[in-house]
Amino acid sequence: MLEPINQNTRAGHWQLVSVPDEPYRAFIPAPLPPNPALTFDARLHELLERANRALGRLDGVTALLPDPDLFLYSYIRKEAVLSSQIEGTQSSLSELLLFENEAAPGVPLDDVRGVSNYVAALQHGVRRLKENFPLSLRLLREIHGVLLREGRGSDKEPGEFRRSQNWIGGSRPGKARYVPPPPHEVLPAMSALERFFHDEPVKTSPVIKAGLAHAQFESIHPFLDGNGRVGRLLITLILLADGVVSTPLLYLSFFFKKNRTEYYDLLQNIRTQGGWEAWLAFYLAGIEEVGNQASGTARKLSAMFQEHKIQIRTLGRASFTAERVHNLLQSRVIVSPVLARKELKMSFPAINKAMANLQKLGFVREITGKQSYRVFAYDPYLKILNEDTERPVSTMTSGL
């Protein structure tokens, strides 16, 4: 039998939970901000400045784009795929885009539906913030309800905080790698986190706030399923709500996926050693890396679109319809003639002629190999977006 312990850190304490079969220890996080306060040495200050500069560059690039929504459509979907892959979902960006075109035979529907639900959950959160709805427990429950509304996880109380114990790793709490707070501790811990969102008890830099809140959310693990996806989304929502970014183009899923062992270890180090500073250094480095990558990709795509427009204009009279289809491909990446007809109010012959011209220019590829029910991809764009998403990671223990 476990002996009671009094293991306290600045991040919280471990509580012995006595149950008949096998007692276990659960972690009860202390309210944010950390106490004693964070120690900002020269390195952490520099990392914060670099992260803020990366976010500023990203927002500056998107402000200069002719239509930021073109990038937003694809970036949200890329994030949905990466975030879902971390949870073991075997679905690629191409499969998601095909699914949205209702042209995805052979695609694992449960997986791709889950990714599609993530897109809907993200969009729901962003829309609510734009409607001036506060970042709150209610909004997080709404997002969770959309995330698990159908398919895998739909039996895990969508939109509700858990009423039973969960754990990470192992077959039962006594053998788990980590046990979050017992159910009756979830609402008090989440209520304290909600106050922290709104700078209570003290005002906190938004970038630091987002990093602390993400780690705290993961420690609380308030839902039976979907905690990792909602927790990663929380970073972007805080940056949006506090006006640090104007569009939701910053996502850390790939950074966490690439460095997942360090990520898990640093979260656990917060709980066992109170290592908030080490976590923030890792998180801020991720903000800088991902922000710079997103800025570079936006510039690259913007230049590519302009170059392709110039080449389309060499088609003469055929350039008008080809440019309209090209504009649609910029926002949808994968397009069927049926979708193009619906969106552009053009005839099938006109659409097929435009696609043929774009194929000749080398921009578009037909990806089904069929004569009917064809689907076309904006190939150079898709290749850029597919980086890091087309080879799903193997199923991992859900700890994010």
Q: What's the pLDDT at 390?
A: 52
| Sign of torsion over alpha carbons 324, 369, 393, 121 | positive
Helix axes 68-86, 379-386, angle to 10 degrees: 40
Q: How far is CA 213 from the centre of its chain?
A: 15
Percentage above 90 pLDDT, the chain: 62
- Cα separation of 302 and 307, whole Å? 9
CB atoms under 10 Å from CB of 250, counted, come to 25
**Residue 323 pLDDT more than 90?**
yes
pLDDT, position 301: 86
Q: Under DSSP, is residue 194 helix (H, G, I), strand (E, B) or coil?
A: helix
CA 138 to chain centre: 19
Whether 138 has a pLDDT exceeding 90, the answer reads: yes
Instruction: Dump the DSSP string for 383-394.
Output: HHHHTTTSSPPP
Q: pLDDT category, 78, cuts 50, 70, 90? A: confident
The mean per-residue pLDDT over the stretch 366-387 comes to: 84
Higher pLDDT, 184 or 114: 184
Nearest Cα residue to 217 out of 236, 245, 203, 202: 236
pTM of the model: 0.88
pLDDT of res. 102: 61
Task: Please report the beta strands in 31-188, taking only residues with DSSP state E, as ranges in sequence order.
Answer: none
- Confidence at residue 282, expressed as pLDDT on a 0 to 100 scale: 98
Which amino acid is located at 292 in the chain?
A: N
Burial of 270: CB neighbours in 10 Å, binned 0-12, 13-18, 19+: buried
Residue pLDDT, tens place only, 160-169: 999 999 999 9
What is residue 15's three-state secondary structure? strand
pLDDT band at 71, cuts 50/70/90? confident
Please say whether the beta carbons of 121 and 146 come within 8 A.
yes
Domains of the chain, with CATH numbers? 8-297 (1.10.3290.10), 299-386 (1.10.10.10)
CA 352 to chain centre: 35
Closest to 157 in 3D by CA, of 221, 223, 227, 110:
223
Dihedral of CA atoms 2, 168, 230, 392 in degrees, nearest 10, equals 170
Half-sphere exposure of 362 (CA within 13 A, CB side): 5
Sign of CA dihedral 326, 331, 335, 341: negative
Amino acid 108: pLDDT: 54
Q: Which residues pair with 12 in a beta bridge?
A: 9, 29
pLDDT tens readout for residues 200-253: 999 999 999 999 999 999 999 999 999 999 999 999 999 999 999 988 888 898
Report the alpha-carbon distance of residue 267 to residue 290 in Å, rounded. Answer: 20
Report the C-alpha gap between 281 and 25 in whole angstroms: 28
Query: Which among 197, 201, 198, 227 is positioned nearest to 210, based on CA atoms?
Result: 197
